[in-house]
Copies of this chain bind each other. A is one copy, B any other.
């Protein structure tokens, strides 16, 4: 019997990617597709490649909507999920939220970075941070997954094993990330228009990006000690993909081989993580995959370790990781539909 899966926010970029992946999933039946602005229009008009012969139409999700889905993916801007998740859980659905509402346990931090009071604080303790490479068993037991942010995925996976193993200092970390434009969502916004973005680059939200507390708290959880870093995200003229370059100080005596060993130990059973020494990854190598490629080397003469990571922001950074979480929640092979 198939898992009935619905999507809230099916007309956005993460929603589209979810639909693409779920459509080829052997154990999933796409149930209902919600998209407020597109409500009433045929799914095929937006996604001509999606023709299941059932005449699917986007619907509007309201307080009255009755759902019989086994799992609901919420692919909407942060601030929405916290209002609808309680009812969805009550109706027995498992929920995977691709937004930020359940990623921060600290509600003050939520208010600071998301500019809104949290509306479902009692659910926070039940939410599991859906990074399968670190939280697999908790994910398997959970009904509410906070799917990680795209930048945090590209930062935490390379840093956590090294911090936990004590190979790098937890202070003085410098993180530079470059993101494709789809990361900002599908919307009319002058700053995202082709003529503004093309042939240019700009950093943005340096020092106040909402992924900063997510990275900080998760790294602290995973490594056991506080971490201090700067994070500079940049918008570059590509549609998909994230390139993250990290500088960290190696602890005295720590070597490149120690680093490689830490990655191998932690990710021996992680099918989507590939870490290599003296290697420089490229975004094109992971596009349309759920993989993260990590390359690193000790920078000559400075004591710094330079780490590069690449992901497809819409796959491992969003929809792919969400399906990976769903697979784990339903006892399937975590790679199902993702290879």
Contacts and interface: CB of A to CB of B under 8 A. Distances in A.
Contacts of A230: 247, 299, 302, 304, 306
A203 interface: yes
A283 interface: yes
Contacts of A291: 48-49
B280 A204 contact: yes
A182 B193 CA distance: 10
A174 to B, nearest CB: 4
Interface in A121-161: none
B193 A239 contact: no
A102 interface: no
A178 B199 CA distance: 12
Contacts of A281: 48, 202
B229 A302 contact: yes
A200 B234 contact: no
A236 B310 CA distance: 14
B238 A280 contact: no
Nearest to A230: B299
A181 interface: yes
A87 interface: no
A239 B206 contact: no
Interface string A228-255: 1110101011111101010101000000
A265 interface: no
B243 A199 contact: no
A235 to B, nearest CB: 9
Interface string A297-330: 1011110101010100000000000000000000
A198 B24 contact: no
B299 A200 contact: no
A201 B299 contact: no
A257 interface: no
Interface of A: 13, 24, 47-49, 171-172, 174, 176, 178, 180-182, 186-190, 192-204, 206-208, 228-230, 232, 234, 236-241, 243, 245, 247, 249, 274, 280-289, 291, 293, 297, 299-302, 304, 306, 308, 310, 339
